[in-house]
């Protein structure tokens, strides 16, 4: 499906990102993985046969440097970008009126501005490939309105809105952009989530039970393929039927 397609994946060091890396490599992608956690990111890259590059999504200069390095590796033509890197832990369980402003700002610098700047840095390469695809990893929390998680849900709602707008700006160059909105997945990053929230998802899904990260990675792989252009601008809730859109 992705044979010989150059794909850049951010947030690849652990959890869902590492699972996405394994899936994309298995589908034949020529993969470049990036993360702020360099040791774990390099380990993922070594496991899947990918190139590793460091990036701090809160730092515009770091994102620009990553874009330049990717351009060198791909000779200026990138077929896919997965904006998976985000802050998702340590920010939940806090009522909206108790969120620290610095925490709010950091979440939005990484999750929203980082996604925008990463897409901007890669856009010339995506256009040059002739069949560029972008997949933004959002969250279904922004679709159903999860409480006590406002900085995160607001950031992921913004990612969905950017996906729609960017589809119209990138579409004339046949660059497709979509978002996936998973629910709670069984990764170490969700260990902090209260058991009641896990149970809400497990019992409320059309397909009951927990959902492993590997259950959504093939969807992401398809959205990076040439055949996915007709879905541009869409957000797909990949949550086994917990939320219908």
What secondary structure letter does DSSP report for 28? T
Annotated catalytic residue 152: yes
Choice among 152, 201, 222, 242 that is catalytic: 152
- Rounded to 10 deg, the angle between the 150-170 and 101-108 helix axes is 30
Residue with tokens 């896919």: 80
Q: Name the token pair of 209.
A: 């039970």
Question: Which strand (E) or helix (H) includes residue 51?
Answer: strand 51-54
Other C-beta atoms within 10 Å of 59: how many? 16
Residue with tokens 């652990």: 14
How far apart are the C-alpha atoms of 161 and 163, rounded to whole Å?
A: 5
- Rounded to 10 deg, the angle between the 150-170 and 114-129 helix axes is 20
Helix, strand, or coil here: 176?
strand
What residues have CB less than 8 Å from 181, skipping those under 6 apart?
138, 139, 140, 142, 143, 156, 160, 235, 236, 237, 238, 239, 243, 245
- Scored b (16 or more CB within 10 A) or e, 81-119 reads bbbbbbbbeebbebeeeebeeeebeebbbbbbbbbebbb
| Catalytic center residues | 152
């Amino acid at each position: 499906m992705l044979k010989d397609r150059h794909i850049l994946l951010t947030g690849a060091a652990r959890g869902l990102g590492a699972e996405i890396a394994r899936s994309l490599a298995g589908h034949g992608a020529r993969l470049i993985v990036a993360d702020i956690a360099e040791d774990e990111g390099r380990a993922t890259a070594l496991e899947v046969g990918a190139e590793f590059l460091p990036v701090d999504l809160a730092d515009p200069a770091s994102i620009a440097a990553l874009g330049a390095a990717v351009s060198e590796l791909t000779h200026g033509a990138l077929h896919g970008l997965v904006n998976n890197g985000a802050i998702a832990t340590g920010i939940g369980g806090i009522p909206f009126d108790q969120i620290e402003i610095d925490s709010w700002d950091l979440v939005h610098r990484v999750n929203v501005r980082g996604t925008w700047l990463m897409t901007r840095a890669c856009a010339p390469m995506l256009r040059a490939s002739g069949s560029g695809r972008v997949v933004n990893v959002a969250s279904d929390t922004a679709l159903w309105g999860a409480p006590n998680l406002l900085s995160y849900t607001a950031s992921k709602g913004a990612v969905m809105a950017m996906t729609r707008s960017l589809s119209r700006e990138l579409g004339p160059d046949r660059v497709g952009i979509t978002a996936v909105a998973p629910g709670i997945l069984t990764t170490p990053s969700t260990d902090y989530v209260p058991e009641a929230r896990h149970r809400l998802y497990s019992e409320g899904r059309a397909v009951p039970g927990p959902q492993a990260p590997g259950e959504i990675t093939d969807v992401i792989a398809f959205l990076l393929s040439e055949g996915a252009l007709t879905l541009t601008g869409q957000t797909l809730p990949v949550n086994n039927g917990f939320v219908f859109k």
